[in-house]
Structure 1
């Protein structure tokens, strides 16, 4: 036991915890079990002075099912005045009733003056409503769909709208309740902040800590969501550039992404550039920006935007995603069906349909479409047709960036390499995706004296056929795996199962998968 006078109170990702005085960031993360990936930055805010609710137009509503955020309307009204003065009183309200169109929390006493008659409400808006015209029977009512109804709302109708976490509002039922309501105030206006990767940093009493950013992907941008999943596959967002209104991750610059969702890029919006120089860049808006026809909104930050605002160029931040990606290639049929059963998704097997069938494609391809349709078709191949490879990340980073883009391994666990030709002891492949048009293949890790059988070579930009991929079944001291001179060949890895290439012929497809570290 310890003296409570030695305690400090801190807030981590919106939840208050107690620590011993002198505790570090690492202590706070361990005690709270907060999401955090090794090496990523953590934001710390020390508030100075009182926060004023009136300075905020956005509020986080914490519920028993999760958080969602609302934004107040611009037009002054009595409802807004009531909200500013009393919002803290609504921090422990149970669901009174719920329907397909709306959900009500309460009741509570207010001075709401209601009007009789039906009113039209848009989806995801918020109002005060006095049931039966009685202000002692007032509720907070959130619309969940566009509809017409009489709730006893005031003349101005709604006073706010839900801007993120809409799925949380839709999931609430009679057993749920509001746990807290907090104004979202710009951190620049309320205190000192740092962004650090040093987990030995000592924490002050009252500090607010942010260890991750949670992004809710938008069903209106299924392909854009896949781009986001791929860029952040390792659970991080690389802060390659910081401006006054956004941070951006450039790992997939050059990739073409479909334009799907024209939407205001308000603070917290996640969007991708779809055309021109910089296509494929991923952005998180840290301030409001207008819509453009060059940027498609793919999701919204629902927690931890403060961390994005504090992040510095060159840092990485931890990212959590909702919903989680559905990427079944790389599994066998039995594993995939077990995973889909847990989500209530119907599975149809095609191709090689044995339980051990190695999945090489899924249809629909996107997570959003699979969730909407509730069904996925999986194409499997005999495991003997799958080739394990080892890639030399330490020796050929730039060329492997090209290779993974060309074979789509940057999006999927399984790479696709069509056989262009086979001759003597050589296999030549040409990826369907012409990544050489936007990815450099400068000379890198070129052979010295001899090419060993099984080594994977890529023709570099010193030769006309840049982007060709090749493998030789025998050692060679004359030409690289693609038949080019050594100076024109970059060695990127090796085939671990050369015997599986014996039956390949022109026009066949070789499926490749990286050998896991556990298997080495």
Structure 2
């Protein structure tokens, strides 16, 4: 009896003892994984699947991309499915603004004379000069017309992921491998789970994360997506036949930047109207929309996206990773930026230990494009550390983070507008109370503890005011309102710093916990 099994983890085969668990596979493969995120398991099927294969992963010396075959039968489609292994190790022959070509190789192709019209990212065979011994694999990069010597049927497939690799290919590059990808829809049975004790069986495929390549055309949209996945996860709030969506930042209005088809694997944002701020990942091809801006593309892990169910969280890695300097010391920032070859210019308090409170440019894509960033630092004594109670005041948390900027950055700004006796009153610069609800929640019962942060709710005229007291109070909340009009949202961890501030000062606050369970 065989005491070993073979499984795939994110496309890499590993050998494990029989009875091994999902956790064993993750550890043995050193796969990207984070506790609480869901992992997809594609079960082994005894049914022969080759005739149903429609996706192929093409590995090149410059990276990999994936093609999907058109469903319509054609001689080119048949030629690919029967002979794709023969196209390994063929070099890049030429590259232009419109297309690239790998070859040459010998085929039995009958070519059509005359120019053809080709759409972006289509894949086709072509016999240059009508010579079947001079056949090439052509990949269109943009919509154009050309006389390649293609067959009557034209293209037989399209690129569905890894499109950015096409721009990186050069004369010295070549195809080094082609691998068919079995769709979970063909194999049928799959499991998505957070249970690392799940027993694996021979032949199963495990997917632990998805990788998103951010679009250089969407610098602001990319920051919206980075903020959405700041804890590392895409939270699946809705699943439809053509997408999954995360509603974490609904109500935040990302700009419209990139008009592009919502192709399978594309990540896009709703920019206006009902549901603005939602993030989507396409599981099917859809046309471009004036309501949705494309910000990236899933390069790896679409299998996990297809398996996703509402309520699950999916681990996400991105290229490039986010460059967010807020809250870091200049010394830490310079170490991080050195990895990207980016120069840091210091402003404000320029000491190594000073903490950064702003950066210019403000987006990752622009920073990488310019190769330099200006950052402003302040002494740590001017930054308050706060702990927020997400579980007891979720509606007020949405208002508070939006109003002071914590939805998108680790550091927020709270102007100090009033001081009296043992009370400090703040008013956020962004008037979020005009369009965000502040319903009564987590209101004090007997007394308010010194250091607790309160927000005036909709039961009082001064809704949206933020306050804190330096002494316990059994009559009024941190903003001076009655208990019923006060929502307790967290606490300041270093109250002694408040004595250094005066009315009119901008106070920076840094959130020390993101998902803790606290409250009265």
> Matched residues in 2 for 1:213 and 1:423: separation?
52
1:243 — aligned with what?
Answer: 240
Structure 1 residue 98 displacement after superposition? 6.2
CA contact (8 A) 2:64 2:165 kept: yes
Query: Do residues 51 (structure 1) and 54 (structure 2) align?
Result: no
Write the mapping of 1:76-91 to structure 2, written as runs, cut at 5 A: 78-90=75-87
SS in 1 for 2:369: helix
Once the two structures are superposed, what CA deviation does each residue of 1:276-321 show, in whole Å capped at 9, x if it has no partner?
Answer: 2322122222223333332222222121112122122212122121
Structure 1 residue 332 displacement after superposition? 1.7
2:89 — aligned with what?
Answer: 93
CA contact (8 A) 1:272 1:282 kept: yes
1:318 — aligned with what?
Answer: 315
> Matched residues in 2 for 1:166 and 1:232: separation?
23
Number of residue equivalences? 512
> Matched residues in 1 for 2:111 and 2:19: separation?
54
SS in 2 for 1:372: helix
SS in 2 for 1:502: helix
> Matched residues in 1 for 2:122 and 2:343: separation?
34
The one of 379, 386, 390 aligned to 1:389: 386
> Matched residues in 1 for 2:162 and 2:269: separation?
20
1:11 — aligned with what?
Answer: 8
Write the mapping of 1:407-486 to structure 2, written as runs, cut at 5 A: 407-486=404-483
Taking structure 2 as the reference length, the TM-score comes to 0.87
Single out whichever of 325-334 and 283-292 deviates more from structure 2. Answer: 283-292
1:371 — aligned with what?
Answer: 368
1:109 — aligned with what?
Answer: 106
Write the mapping of 1:74-473 to structure 2, written as runs, cut at 5 A: 78-90=75-87, 92-96=88-92, 104-112=101-109, 124=121, 126-128=123-125, 135-136=132-133, 138-142=135-139, 159-173=156-170, 176-184=173-181, 186-473=183-470
CA contact (8 A) 1:100 1:145 kept: no
2:517 — aligned with what?
Answer: none
RMSD: 3.2
SS in 1 for 2:406: coil
SS in 1 for 2:189: strand
> Matched residues in 1 for 2:284 and 2:46: separation?
22
Structure 1 residue 503 displacement after superposition? 4.1
Change (3 A) 1:287 1:238: same
Once the two structures are superposed, what CA deviation does each residue of 1:170-191 show, in whole Å capped at 9, x if it has no partner?
Answer: 3345665434334455422333
Structure 1: state its 5+ residue gaps: none
Single out whichever of 428-437 and 153-162 deviates more from structure 2. Answer: 153-162
> Matched residues in 2 for 1:506 and 1:96: separation?
66
CA contact (8 A) 1:93 1:106 kept: no
CA contact (8 A) 2:266 2:281 kept: yes
Change (3 A) 1:258 1:154: same
SS in 2 for 1:458: strand
Structure 1 residue 158 displacement after superposition? 5.7
CA contact (8 A) 2:95 2:170 kept: no
> Matched residues in 1 for 2:263 and 2:95: separation?
30
Structure 2: state its 5+ residue gaps: 515-520
Structure 1 residue 36 displacement after superposition? 1.8
Change (3 A) 1:452 1:10: closer
Taking structure 1 as the reference length, the TM-score comes to 0.87
2:518 — aligned with what?
Answer: none
